[in-house]
Structure 1
Amino acid sequence: MANKLSREERQKRREQRRKNQHKKAKSWLREWADALLFAAVAALIIRTFFFEAYRIPTPSMEKTLMTGDFLIVSKMSYGPRTPMVLGVPFTNIYMQGLVLPWARLPGFDEIERNDIVVFNYPVDLAPIAAKTNYVKRLVGMPGDTLSIDDNQLFVNGEQAEPFPGIQRTYEVRVRDRVRLSAAKVRAAGGTLYQTQQPGVYRVNMTRQVAETISRWQEVTDVNPFVLPDGFNEYDRREFSFSSGFMNHHHLPPTVVPFEGQTVTLTPGNYHVYEDILTRYEGNSVQREGEQFIINGEETNEYTIRQDYYFMMGDNRDNSEDSRFWGFVPQTHIVGKAGMIYFSWDSERWLPRFDRILNFIHD
């Protein structure tokens, strides 16, 4: 009897140990699940209201920002936006047709001219927060008058401040029967393009590199390349600041729209304001000759309801920006580019160690 009771007791103890181990395993899994859930929620809050990572996919901001740079974007600088859509966190999947009421919370800084800004690409056909993120330099504030003359930007009548990283195309002439070395140009910091004209090359580079190349023995002349005023590169584009011939090296004086501005619409200027009225401010617009009908009312005057900005890439001749698709609404501003936390050179398959943890200066 004693042996029988002893075996039953041992069996009970083994079962109890198995239950305890099972409880410990469940407890361990629950702790990990809770930790992962907390981390995901914390990351989502940080990404929504504080900071977001962003990768530079194109050369439109070189040499200021390089293809392969990974940025930290501060959403607190200009004020974070509350959620606009419902979707799967950390993906581009969102619920179609549902846009949430949203607001922009106070930021600790004001957006300023020459800031490097991340924003939603305005002409994407998607809810604002689901649009592609772009990064450019803000060159025109609401109310500024901008013009571009021979590829030189003017703001309120004065030539815009030059930045060391800004690139443009230069025409380089060399001596007879001499070739310009692409490898030598690349080592100096430029990108060489062959032209049809013998002895003439086009090089995309900064002003500092242009000054260096102008001192080379084989080079006779270096001048900025400018598209002729009558050359039209907009024949295949939906947007243009001009109803006639227009290219990105020339821009007639244009006022950047601002909240409260009343504009008089005409058949000659409607192409500039059409996206603002219909796409960004949600109005119904019809035209009958020179008469406009806005939301069912005959009127040629419209009061703009928010501020707009004019963006340009620092790689001026290799950037599609406001010159090509117009103004950026205030609602589309995401944040300010703050720091490069990592940089990857895909040509050499090596990190750019000199760029890691660099703060971005305007």
Structure 2
Amino acid sequence: MENKEEKFSAKKFLKGLLREIIVPVALALIVIQYVIQAFQIPSGSMEDTLHTGDFLLGLKFTYGSPIPFSNQKFPGYAYPAKGDVVIFRYPGEPEYPDGNPARYTHLFNALMFGNLYWDHEPKAGQPHLVHYADGPKDYIKRCVATSGDTVAVHKGRLYINGVLQDTLPGRGKYTATARTFSPRDERDAFVVPSVGDTFTVADMPLEKLWWLRSLVAQENPDESVEFEISLWKDSVEINNYDFENFRIPVENDRGLALNELFRRNRMVLQQRLTQGDTVSGVMSFAYFKELSRIGYLPMIDPNIQGGFMRPVSYMAFEGSLLRDLEGNVALLNQAEEDSAGTVEMVEVDAPQDGAATVEGVAGDTLDAPAKSKFEIRRRLLLGGKPLETYVVKTPQFFMMGDNHDNSADSRYWGFVSLRNIRAKAFVIYFSFENDDEAFVLKNPFTWWRLPFRIRWGRLGKMIHMID
């Protein structure tokens, strides 16, 4: 007897769709949003604790899961503690394109495809949809200090509250044979801010003011944060001033300024430069003024037109460049001091029976030229309003990579606010070695290599148990 053909049932189809697709996808999205975050180790900054090619899971709810459609978080059951390996949003890039939350609305995080935004004020010929493919980036580092701790770095070694840190988990990998005055190797003692601490803008050196700018931006994600500097000479603004002999140390975090120095002076290197060397040449104050104003160097032309969506990408501007700027202005003032204290031989009219001279000496005021005074004035604006003081709202943390000599971390860009903390690193679920890039995902003919590249001994390792 033949079976009768079953009639199509929309109700049955919808039940199956709900059971097999919609519910599992919804549950997966809930887990991704509130419970775990997958993360791949892209560099060696956490060696030897974590290796390039490790894939791990982080627990979001430990420090607080994000609240949907807002910039707030649910309360977590703990704060990051010294020794925790933490996934966090890198504070060196804008959370919104151009750092402008008024102009852009965050649509959604497309996971491995980046973030999508809606531009409410696109320029003529530009689409509304904006694709931030590589950011804001997530970083993974070890929390080495929390609010209230005193931090210092000497000869690359970390000191917390005056004690050399040789007992923390992942206590540090040191590979450098020479030390310089770079942020990697030297940081004078400072205190990690606590809730309620007050900073006075006028009292802060430029580099630490740059750190405060980052802190303010992290704590106020829905408002624009701007940093303005201007150069003055004898109370006259001279923002187009060119330094004739601007000195820049050769360090990893000075790449932007060094490239500009070489370009502007059409310099061709005659010998190999090493870290700690100093180069000099003509540099314009306007270069630093513009970089500090935008905060980030756009890597894609912001005026690009056409297309379905506009791509954006940014490179961080390190505050150590502002320390160089402040130092070079100090050199200008020192040169003025030196020239004002020296008076050359002066010949004056005398009786016809001979010539007479008057010799000036250091400290003479009659013939000494008036010295000029160079100064950098600064303004930090939140929502378009200048800040004279700022009160810290959330706990702050200081992050460093376990591979101390090869890690871009808080020594360069300052504190990480609680709001930027994403997850606590929990377990390695996959790991493979591909330093020679012999395995290529897009090339099926290389897939056979994968089983031989897997680090089987690292699978399932708990992060807090790796020392």
C-alpha displacement of 1:287:
6.3
Distance 1:29 1:278 in 2: 46
After superposition, the C-alpha distances for 1:333-352 in whole angstroms (9 at most, x for unaligned) are 00100111111122584211
Distance 1:351 1:104, change over 3 A: same
Residue in 1 aligned with 2:322?
Answer: none
2:144 corresponds to 1:139: yes
Residues 50 and 74 in structure 1, CA contact (< 8 A), matched pair in contact too:
yes
Query: How is 1:217-236 mapped onto 2 (pairs within 5 angstroms)?
Result: 225-229=177-181
Distance 2:4 2:25 in 1: 34
C-alpha displacement of 1:353:
1.1
Q: Return the letter of the residue paired with 1:336.
A: K
Query: How is 1:105-144 mapped onto 2 (pairs within 5 angstroms)?
Result: 105-127=74-96, 131-144=136-149
2:190 corresponds to 1:254: yes
Percent of aligned pairs with the same amino acid: 29
Distance 1:164 1:305, change over 3 A: closer
Distance 2:454 2:75 in 1: 36
Q: CA RMSD in A?
A: 3.1
After superposition, the C-alpha distances for 1:4-29 in whole angstroms (9 at most, x for unaligned) are xxxxxxxxx99x934x25449x8468
Q: Secondary structure at the match of 1:324?
A: helix
C-alpha displacement of 1:163:
4.6
Residues 426 and 462 in structure 2, CA contact (< 8 A), matched pair in contact too:
yes
2:447 corresponds to 1:361: no
2:4 corresponds to 1:17: yes
Residue number among 38, 42, 67 corresponding to 2:52 in the alignment:
67
Distance 1:167 1:155, change over 3 A: closer
Distance 2:414 2:197 in 1: 17
C-alpha displacement of 1:307:
2.1
Residue number among 162, 167, 185 corresponding to 2:167 in the alignment:
162
Residue number among 25, 28, 35 corresponding to 1:50 in the alignment:
35
Q: Secondary structure at the match of 2:210?
A: helix
Distance 1:21 1:299 in 2: 71
Distance 2:71 2:214 in 1: 21
Q: Return the letter of the residue paired with 1:225.
A: T
Residues 62 and 166 in structure 1, CA contact (< 8 A), matched pair in contact too:
no
Residue number among 144, 153, 158 corresponding to 1:148 in the alignment:
153
Distance 1:167 1:339, change over 3 A: same
Return 348-357 or 274-283, whichever deviates more. Answer: 274-283
Residues 278 and 284 in structure 1, CA contact (< 8 A), matched pair in contact too:
no
C-alpha displacement of 1:154:
0.4
After superposition, the C-alpha distances for 1:147-187 in whole angstroms (9 at most, x for unaligned) are 00011100111112435644534xxxxxxxxxxxxxxxxxx
C-alpha displacement of 1:360:
1.1
Return 57-66 or 300-309, whichever deviates more. Answer: 300-309
Distance 1:164 1:298 in 2: 42
Distance 1:334 1:261 in 2: 24
C-alpha displacement of 1:78:
1.2
C-alpha displacement of 1:119:
0.5
Residues 219 and 394 in structure 2, CA contact (< 8 A), matched pair in contact too:
no
Distance 1:115 1:74 in 2: 12
2:303 corresponds to 1:351: no
2:391 corresponds to 1:303: yes
Residues 147 and 253 in structure 1, CA contact (< 8 A), matched pair in contact too:
yes
Distance 1:317 1:30, change over 3 A: same
Residues 267 and 290 in structure 1, CA contact (< 8 A), matched pair in contact too:
no
C-alpha displacement of 1:297:
7.0
Residues 147 and 254 in structure 1, CA contact (< 8 A), matched pair in contact too:
yes
Distance 2:178 2:428 in 1: 33
Distance 1:287 1:55, change over 3 A: closer
2:329 corresponds to 1:329: no
Distance 1:342 1:22, change over 3 A: same
2:274 corresponds to 1:274: no
Residues 194 and 392 in structure 2, CA contact (< 8 A), matched pair in contact too:
yes
Residue number among 391, 402, 406 corresponding to 1:318 in the alignment:
406
Residues 292 and 298 in structure 1, CA contact (< 8 A), matched pair in contact too:
yes
Residues 165 and 171 in structure 2, CA contact (< 8 A), matched pair in contact too:
no
Return 40-49 or 341-350, whichever deviates more. Answer: 341-350
Residue in 2 aligned with 1:213?
Answer: none
Q: Which has the higher contact order (CA 8 A, sep 6+)?
A: 2
Distance 1:163 1:257, change over 3 A: closer
Q: Secondary structure at the match of 1:168?
A: coil
C-alpha displacement of 1:275:
2.3
Residues 72 and 337 in structure 1, CA contact (< 8 A), matched pair in contact too:
yes
Residue in 2 aligned with 1:195?
Answer: none
C-alpha displacement of 1:274:
2.6
Residue number among 66, 72, 82 corresponding to 1:81 in the alignment:
66
2:43 corresponds to 1:103: no
Distance 1:76 1:155, change over 3 A: same
Unaligned runs of at least 5 residues, structure 2: 97-105, 110-114, 116-135, 231-375, 436-448
Distance 1:74 1:278 in 2: 25
Q: Return the letter of the residue paired with 1:310.
A: F
Q: Return the letter of the residue paired with 2:55.
A: F
After superposition, the C-alpha distances for 1:18-71 in whole angstroms (9 at most, x for unaligned) are 4x25449x8468514542111110000011111122111111111101111111
C-alpha displacement of 1:82:
1.1
Residues 308 and 328 in structure 1, CA contact (< 8 A), matched pair in contact too:
yes
